[in-house]
Structure 1
């Protein structure tokens, strides 16, 4: 149980800042979200290893619920942040290669919307199946989980190294403030004092 719990997402509400990242710094908030995604993907990998070594137990069920909670709640808000504020200035810019990358990232979001229900179905089976009835993951189930994780990993690398720095440089103080306020509003967070 300890191996699975050590990398679980923070206990804070999904989409809420972790220490050191707040809505007043929206790009830092997006980067903190990527850190949570990365930790959640590590948890997903450790869950699969745990199932191979230990089988299904309460630790596995809880890990599956943790992964589902993150990708059900926080990930869609994160994608909206990007589509509303990060991607538009780059699509409107003159860098053709960067605009093409952003188009692929938009397609990644659509691909994630298709891949998530398949991965979620596997996780739900882990979370809800009583131990005596649980069967090891079939190759197709493992593929659904690993494919989803691989898509996210490549996606985040492109955003962290290319897209976020370019978008941050393109946005003015007023645009950053608007982005910050929108991110808070969509999450039901009060304005920064």
Structure 2
């Protein structure tokens, strides 16, 4: 079904934080594509070792990496835009923040059938499971397009070039804190 998310990704370092944010979006898209292949596999063949491994990969990415990515945006990208952005950009950022909150709720619903598949509690996704997975995956396309097309370019116009290195160091440091196996990082909070 494919390699776990993050494999075969060109190396991007935190010294280029916006390249790192965009690389995270690529991993989100690849992980959502893996989720789509997993769903098709389960519809055609049911649950097997391959399906359970793919579900574990999706769970791992959206439990650990995605919340850190949202936190990066909420700490480094959105605040300057809310404080200094044009009114249309401020409105967009407020929607992006709302999306982050909605994504947390969508993920809570979507992770249940994936975890049940991993745990051998289900062999196929029911209609409610499929709806939860659709809702979760569906929110990302517009969200990523708005961040890369509007939010990131807008904040780069506001940030001084010397702000990028500290931003990258903070992003890297958040990922260095040890987390026991199975412990999820704190969910970022959306701010108005």
* TM-score calculated relative to the size of structure 1: 0.87
3-state DSSP of counterpart to 2:13: coil
RMSD (Å), alpha carbons: 1.6
2:145 alignment partner, one of 151, 154, 157: 157
In the alignment, what sits opposite 2:118? 127
Residue by residue over 1:95-126, the C-alpha shift from the partner in whole angstroms, topping out at 9 and shown as x without a partner, is: 10010000000011111111111111110011
CA distance in 1, matches of 2:55, 2:123: 15
1:147 alignment partner, one of 128, 132, 135: 135
Structure 2's unaligned 5+ residue stretches are 178-192
1:105 alignment partner, one of 96, 100, 106: 96
In the alignment, what sits opposite 2:55? 64
CA distance in 1, matches of 2:148, 2:49: 35
Q: 1:142 to 1:109 in 2, by over 3 A?
A: same
Structure 1 runs of 4+ off > 2 angstroms?
133-136
2:5 alignment partner, one of 2, 9, 12: 9
CA contact (8 A) 2:43 2:124 kept: yes
Residue by residue over 1:141-160, the C-alpha shift from the partner in whole angstroms, topping out at 9 and shown as x without a partner, is: 00101100011222111111
3-state DSSP of counterpart to 2:99: helix
In the alignment, what sits opposite 1:75? 66
**1:169 Cα deviation (Å)?**
2.1
CA distance in 1, matches of 2:171, 2:41: 36
* TM-score calculated relative to the size of structure 2: 0.87
**1:20 Cα deviation (Å)?**
3.5
**1:46 Cα deviation (Å)?**
0.7
Higher normalized contact order (CA 8 Å, seq sep 6+, divided by chain length): 2
Number of residue pairs the alignment of both structures matches: 177
3-state DSSP of counterpart to 1:5: coil
In the alignment, what sits opposite 1:15? none
CA distance in 1, matches of 2:122, 2:76: 43
